[in-house]
Structure 1
């Protein structure tokens, strides 16, 4: 299915206008729109503008607070807790990243736990901000209930994303950004919208039977990656994201995908290690670059080996100057534009056959 290309600035402007139209302050609207467009430019469409109509509907229904009051409490010199008051996840995470960077600059390490938040988009968007400050960043979050534990049949866990990033020479960080489910929930939604199947092993239907039908998967449950090991990691990330605050576990949550008025009380945990406090930023960047080079150089004949984050950055470089959207996403955005009295930007001439 051929994608439809748009200028990045046009999409950011449209997303900002759409959010502002439902009462989101301009700075918050701009931040959120930028994060969504950045995900699309990296090929992570499940966390891109596909979600904008959901955010708008949840704001209108009360599931997301367009004008939150962020409240801080401190646990120690290196720790802080943020109550996000139902904010857009991007708004909560921007504040959390700024605070954790300041804490790590003072103490060498910093930790911020967040409660009463919502979906924050792609995790790499936030770890990149920490890496730019010479820090190693670790980010994780709860989500709505979508995943069954290994051996289970009930939706008890979220897709529980994990992002870990370390600075490297040349501003090309080593970045792992992954869900702990075999596939991201947003990718299943995108497959349903596009009328395509999902890969085998991603999900079971409501009766616990394996399925490649995204609609049946959404009615059933996603599966953790890596069997018992991936399931164990998902459970631990659930604990880290929600047990340090009053944030809700996935099984205590009604997802805004299901009920737009649901206050999900999503929990995040953001950790930062200031490399300057250890052996120095230059040392860490050189060592990480050496590791990346060895990984890339390990490919066998006719193969390629990528360090974590390489694929997404290559996609972003290929999409420089344009952002491809799936036709089904364009249809959703056009419907959203009409409902808000806005106009979707005109697409650019095709430049990417994907």
Structure 2
């Protein structure tokens, strides 16, 4: 059932990644973003779609650009350093587009790591950052390990809880390999990202039991709810006490602490929908050990995991990042699938803001 909550060639239109970058950049610039910030915002969204994370991909340009145009987001924006040390910084996202502030915060973290081995930045006054692992992956080209996470307004019940109290609070982690694909972890601390429920509803498929429950009685949901409301909640990763729901719950609270409490921007239950506080980190591997040796050991570990005998009925053992890398290979070669309704909405939005429709 899970495999059905995906885009395919019957419900989507394939578009070259370069054309999407051009289209999205022009839309962002038309609503007041600087050319640099427009390029950044587009790049993050296109990267998500290229890697198969469609819920956090190019279709979000419609909502983001409307928020910029109506003043919900402040554009042009500034990522302002509030306080810092050699290895840390607290920055304000300036109420701007979250994609931009998280990107620029990771740039700060990387520069600090180059000088001192480690850089950490907490971000307040922010908004939705899209695919959270994108920012962790920015460290890879610098031979660094990256980590990133973000809070969100309540959508998830705590373990044993009958009320939404936590965001999906995702975590991203990336580490470079040598000959093998880089390690790339992108996970919500809920059983599933909330966007997948919306995607299932749009393309008309059920959701697996265990993704969410009705509130306050805890009944299973298989028909995708119509938007966010107080009648249902996503489950924490693990779902039930017996299956380890306390682990997803604990990770979610950890994200709230690093992103919301450390920044002072507020933890999940204090956030309005659309507000997000974030945290990023870069680690310079070369300050610990020889980078080539590190990558060689990463290769050994990844190969051993791939060589693990699969369970009956399973094709092969995957390593985090494999599905996204497979999607990237396909989509860069054959175009990025954009859900038909969202493809039309992007084209319509481009016309609305007065830029050329190029997709």
The answer to whether 1:252 aligns with 2:270 is: yes
Q: Tell me the residue number matched to 1:284.
A: 294
Q: Tell me the residue number matched to 2:315.
A: 303
Q: Tell me the residue number matched to 1:329.
A: 342
Runs of at least 5 residues in structure 1 that lack an aligned partner in the other structure? 257-263, 347-354
The answer to whether 1:177 aligns with 2:195 is: no
Q: What TM-score, normalized to structure 1?
A: 0.90
The answer to whether 1:237 aligns with 2:251 is: no
From the superposition, tell whether residues 140 and 11 of structure 1 become closer, same or farther in structure 2 (CA, over 3 Å): same
Paired with 1:338 and 1:298, the residues of 2 have a C-alpha distance of 51
From 31, 52, 64, the equivalent of 2:61 is 52
The answer to whether 1:20 aligns with 2:29 is: yes
Give deviations 1:213-239, integer Å, cap 9, x for gaps. Answer: 222573221111111211111111111
What's the offset of the Cα at 1:113?
Answer: 0.9
Paired with 1:64 and 1:170, the residues of 2 have a C-alpha distance of 42
Give deviations 1:26-68, integer Å, cap 9, x for gaps. Answer: 1111111111111111111011012111112222332211212
From 96, 99, 106, the equivalent of 2:108 is 99
The answer to whether 1:269 aligns with 2:279 is: yes
From 192, 195, 216, the equivalent of 2:201 is 192
User: After alignment, is 148-157 or 72-81 more displaced?
Assistant: 72-81
Give deviations 1:125-153, integer Å, cap 9, x for gaps. Answer: 22221011111111111112211111112
Q: Tell me the residue number matched to 1:161.
A: 170
The answer to whether 1:318 aligns with 2:336 is: no
Paired with 2:119 and 2:180, the residues of 1 have a C-alpha distance of 22
Paired with 1:97 and 1:14, the residues of 2 have a C-alpha distance of 25
User: After alignment, is 169-178 or 92-101 more displaced?
Assistant: 169-178
- Partner-residue secondary structure (3-state), 1:284: helix
Give deviations 1:317-352, integer Å, cap 9, x for gaps. Answer: 011141111112213223323432345434xxxxxx
Aligned 8 A contact 2:93 2:123 in 1: yes
Q: Tell me the residue number matched to 1:351.
A: none
Paired with 2:322 and 2:179, the residues of 1 have a C-alpha distance of 13
Q: What TM-score, normalized to structure 2?
A: 0.89
Q: Tell me the residue number matched to 1:261.
A: none
Matches within 5 A, 1:106-117: 106-117=115-126
Aligned 8 A contact 1:194 1:328 in 2: no
- Partner-residue secondary structure (3-state), 2:73: coil
From the superposition, tell whether residues 41 and 76 of structure 1 become closer, same or farther in structure 2 (CA, over 3 Å): same
From the superposition, tell whether residues 103 and 156 of structure 1 become closer, same or farther in structure 2 (CA, over 3 Å): same
From the superposition, tell whether residues 320 and 181 of structure 1 become closer, same or farther in structure 2 (CA, over 3 Å): same
From 26, 43, 48, the equivalent of 1:39 is 48
From the superposition, tell whether residues 202 and 343 of structure 1 become closer, same or farther in structure 2 (CA, over 3 Å): farther
From the superposition, tell whether residues 335 and 215 of structure 1 become closer, same or farther in structure 2 (CA, over 3 Å): farther
Q: Tell me the residue number matched to 1:294.
A: 304
- Partner-residue secondary structure (3-state), 2:308: coil
- Partner-residue secondary structure (3-state), 1:136: strand
Give deviations 1:249-300, integer Å, cap 9, x for gaps. Answer: 11111213xxxxxxx2x21111121110111211211111111010101133
Aligned 8 A contact 1:110 1:272 in 2: yes
Aligned 8 A contact 2:79 2:105 in 1: no
Runs of at least 5 residues in structure 2 that lack an aligned partner in the other structure? 1-7, 239-244
Aligned 8 A contact 1:188 1:218 in 2: no
Paired with 1:7 and 1:166, the residues of 2 have a C-alpha distance of 28
Alpha carbon RMSD of aligned pairs, Å?
A: 1.8
Give deviations 1:74-109, integer Å, cap 9, x for gaps. Answer: 342111111111121121122111111111111111
